[in-house]
């Protein structure tokens, strides 16, 4: 089978989707199957480029695409940017020339007609539908129409959690039998970092020995403001020797600013520094109001860091019993949970051990194997 996978979303504008696509593509190649792969990439935005395409920055400073595109049994296929008219028009011809047996679209925007082979799409969540206040009416209508067209035009749908599968099936009246759940994973880089590396990263980012970490974008549903409010209310956050609350993640709206001396926003950090940042933290907190999967808590657990996260969306499904779960709309409960973990070393150690065991139950190898099974079902 010749499988075409769109790698044009591997860029800094899509940190979560980019990580999913790159990790999946790497795992598929590593399986050593007889299948051949056609990887589409944007030729004029190579790694470390900072060109702008349309209204978003298409820089890729995170992933070594060149290595992946040179892998055995891979045909690298240059294509126009995915959101351009040229990209939509060219895709059917490119897939036909590549003799693709199947196309995997890792995003809901792709040509909904005229493609020469069956299509599988990955849908991560339906946040514009579930949280209408986060986007304009125009954006919501566009998302809703595009998602409906994507669901209409594909053979199979992949989601990263049962919760997302059920939300899509309910909202769009799609049979759950058409939707396959394939969990993601924290990749192998995420493990307890060497203390010397942790110390170097702390020095570089000017972090103290004791800090709490939250890795999340500035999108409203990530709920970072509730975390800061909880930190204000917590006894730990008010004490003279309070740990620093460190925020990190992609920022569309500029750096976050909070009137609290023990809060620091790093913004986007280097991908290579994340394992050390997780490993050096006393505690990782993830207060999101909804996640289609929720990779950061899993990465933190893989690094041996105790985790508090919300019981929202797919997060309970991902973290299981290995994290403290809180109501994302209750800053008082979050403050109490933070105080509980920070003042109880035994609890922190238990959460650390449970988290590492839980993270180890997810793997990209299994995700790749299950994704290949979806491809096989799609072309029958």
CATH number reported for the structural domain that contains residue 115 in this entry: 3.40.50.2000
Asked if the model's pLDDT at residue 96 lies above 80, the reply is yes
Query: Same domain, yes or no, for 177 and 213?
Result: no
Query: Same domain, yes or no, for 115 and 137?
Result: yes
Query: Same domain, yes or no, for 163 and 290?
Result: no
The answer for residues whose C-beta is within 8 angstroms of residue 28's C-beta and 6 or more apart is: 3, 5, 35, 37, 368, 371, 372
Query: Same domain, yes or no, for 257 and 170?
Result: no
Query: Same domain, yes or no, for 163 and 239?
Result: no
Query: Same domain, yes or no, for 324 and 295?
Result: yes
Identify whether 214 is part of a domain. Answer: yes
Identify whether 313 is part of a domain. Answer: yes
Which burial class, exposed, middle or buried, applies to 144 when counting CB atoms under 10 A from its CB (0-12, 13-18, 19+)?
A: middle
Supply the DSSP symbol for 209: S
Q: What is the pLDDT of residues 320-344, one digit of tens each?
A: 999 999 999 999 999 999 999 999 9
Q: What is the pLDDT of residues 269-314, one digit of tens each?
A: 988 999 999 999 999 999 999 999 999 999 999 999 999 999 999 9
Identify whether 132 is part of a domain. Answer: yes
Q: How many domains does the chain have?
A: 2
Domain that holds residue 264: 195-359
| 155 contacts 101 by C-beta, under 8 angstroms | no
Query: Same domain, yes or no, for 56 and 126?
Result: yes
The values of phi and psi at residue 264, to 5°, are -130, 130
Query: Same domain, yes or no, for 168 and 231?
Result: no
Query: Same domain, yes or no, for 7 and 144?
Result: yes
Looking at the whole model, is its pTM more than 0.75? Answer: yes
Asked if the model's pLDDT at residue 209 lies above 90, the reply is yes
Asked if the model's pLDDT at residue 316 lies above 60, the reply is yes
Query: Same domain, yes or no, for 271 and 349?
Result: yes
Residues in the chain: 380
Query: Same domain, yes or no, for 346 and 330?
Result: yes
Query: Same domain, yes or no, for 286 and 148?
Result: no
Identify whether 252 is part of a domain. Answer: yes
Identify whether 190 is part of a domain. Answer: no
Task: Give the mean pLDDT of the chain.
Answer: 90
Identify whether 78 is part of a domain. Answer: yes
pLDDT at 59: 67
Question: What percent of the chain has a predicted confidence (pLDDT) above 90?
Answer: 72
């Amino acid at each position: 089978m010749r499988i075409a996978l769109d790698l044009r979303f591997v860029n800094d504008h899509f940190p979560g989707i980019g990580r999913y696509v790159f990790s999946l593509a790497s795992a598929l190649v590593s399986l050593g199957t007889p299948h051949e792969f056609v990887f589409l990439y944007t030729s004029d935005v190579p790694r470390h480029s900072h060109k702008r395409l349309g209204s978003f920055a298409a820089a890729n400073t995170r992933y070594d695409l060149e290595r992946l595109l040179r892998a055995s049994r891979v045909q690298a296929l240059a294509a126009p940017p995915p959101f351009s008219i040229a990209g939509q028009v060219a895709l059917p011809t490119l897939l036909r020339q590549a003799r693709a047996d199947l196309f995997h679209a890792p995003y809901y925007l792709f040509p909904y007609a005229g493609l020469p082979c069956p299509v599988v799409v990955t849908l991560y969540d339906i946040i514009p539908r579930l949280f209408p206040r986060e986007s304009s009416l125009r954006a919501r209508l566009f998302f809703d129409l595009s998602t409906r067209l994507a669901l209409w035009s594909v053979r199979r749908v992949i989601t990263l959690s049962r919760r997302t599968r059920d939300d899509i099936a309910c909202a769009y009246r799609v049979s759950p039998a058409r939707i396959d759940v394939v969990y993601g994973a924290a990749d192998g880089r995420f493990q307890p970092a060497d203390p010397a590396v942790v110390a170097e990263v702390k020095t570089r980012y000017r972090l103290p020995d004791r800090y709490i970490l939250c890795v999340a974008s500035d999108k409203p549903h990530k709920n970072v403001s509730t975390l800061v409010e909880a930190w204000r209310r917590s006894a730990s956050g008010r004490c003279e020797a309070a740990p620093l609350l460190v925020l990190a993640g992609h920022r569309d709206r500029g750096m976050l600013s909070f009137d609290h001396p023990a809060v620091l926003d790093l913004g986007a950090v280097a991908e290579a520094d994340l394992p050390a940042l997780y490993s050096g933290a006393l505690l990782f907190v993830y207060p999101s109001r909804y996640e289609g999967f929720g990779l950061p808590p899993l990465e933190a657990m893989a690094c041996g860091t105790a985790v508090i996260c919300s019981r929202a969306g797919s997060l309970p499904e991902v973290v299981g019993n290995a994290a403290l779960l809180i109501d994302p709309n209750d800053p008082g409960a979050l403050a109490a949970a933070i105080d509980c973990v920070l003042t109880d070393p035994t609890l922190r150690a238990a959460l650390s051990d449970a988290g590492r065991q839980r993270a180890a139950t997810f793997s990209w190898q299994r995700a790749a194997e299950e994704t290949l099974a979806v491809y096989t079902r799609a072309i029958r």
